[in-house]
């Protein structure tokens, strides 16, 4: 059976920044007949639930991995190291389970694929990937976004 790394919140685990999960029929349909490996990079890196919302400033997850951007919460606290650590833990989990694909929470600074919040906390999006999505893609794991709606 094919294994897919999945944002734990998309499996209903209450691990999002707001302390909620986002299970949905969309997620269940995509995972049908496949083994879901639920994982939350932020929790794995030791961040609490709930936690302050965070956004990437100065770029996207690729820029964070390359040291050109930071992940900062809405109080100005730099949480970049935790996001990078969580991304590496997610990669380890995906490799251990033999995942070649990941279904990750859309727009998240960790898991977003294709679009992430722009770092202004104004609800605006920019083209780009979250830190975990960027790292997984760099290592050959296909990342698909899901909204959990």
How would residue 137 be classed by pLDDT, with cut points 50, 70 and 90? very high
User: pLDDT tens for residues 58-116?
Assistant: 999 999 999 999 999 999 999 999 999 999 999 999 999 999 999 999 999 999 999 99
pTM here is 0.96
Kindly state the percentage of the chain with pLDDT values over 90. Answer: 92
What pLDDT is recorded for position 25? Answer: 85
CA 89, CA 102: separation in Å to the nearest integer?
A: 14
Q: At what angle do helices 131-138 and 80-97 cross, to 10 degrees?
A: 40
The pLDDT value recorded for residue 47 is 98
Q: Are 31 and 6 in contact (CB under 8 A)?
A: yes
How many domains are contained in the chain? 1
Largest interatomic CA distance in the chain: 43
Question: If you average pLDDT over residues 17-29, what whole number do you get?
Answer: 91
Which residues form the domain of 62?
Answer: 3-146
Output the average pLDDT for the chain: 96
With cut-offs at 50, 70 and 90, classify the pLDDT of residue 147. confident
Quick one: pLDDT at residue 41?
98
User: Residue 149's pLDDT is what?
Assistant: 64
């Amino acid at each position: 059976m094919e294994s897919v790394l999945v944002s734990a919140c998309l499996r209903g685990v209450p691990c999002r920044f707001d302390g909620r999960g986002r299970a949905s029929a969309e997620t269940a349909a995509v995972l049908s007949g496949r083994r879901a490996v639920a994982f939350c990079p932020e929790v794995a890196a030791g961040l609490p639930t709930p936690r302050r919302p965070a956004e990437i400033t100065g770029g996207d997850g690729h820029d964070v991995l390359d040291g050109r951007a930071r992940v900062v919460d809405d109080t100005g606290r730099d949480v970049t190291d935790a996001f990078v650590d969580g991304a590496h833990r997610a990669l380890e989990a995906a490799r251990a389970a033999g995942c070649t694909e990941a279904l990750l929470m859309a727009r998240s600074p960790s898991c977003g694929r294709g679009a992430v919040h722009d770092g202004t906390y104004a609800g605006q999006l920019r083209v780009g990937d979250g830190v975990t999505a960027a790292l997984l893609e760099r290592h050959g794991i296909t990342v698909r976004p899901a909204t959990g709606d």
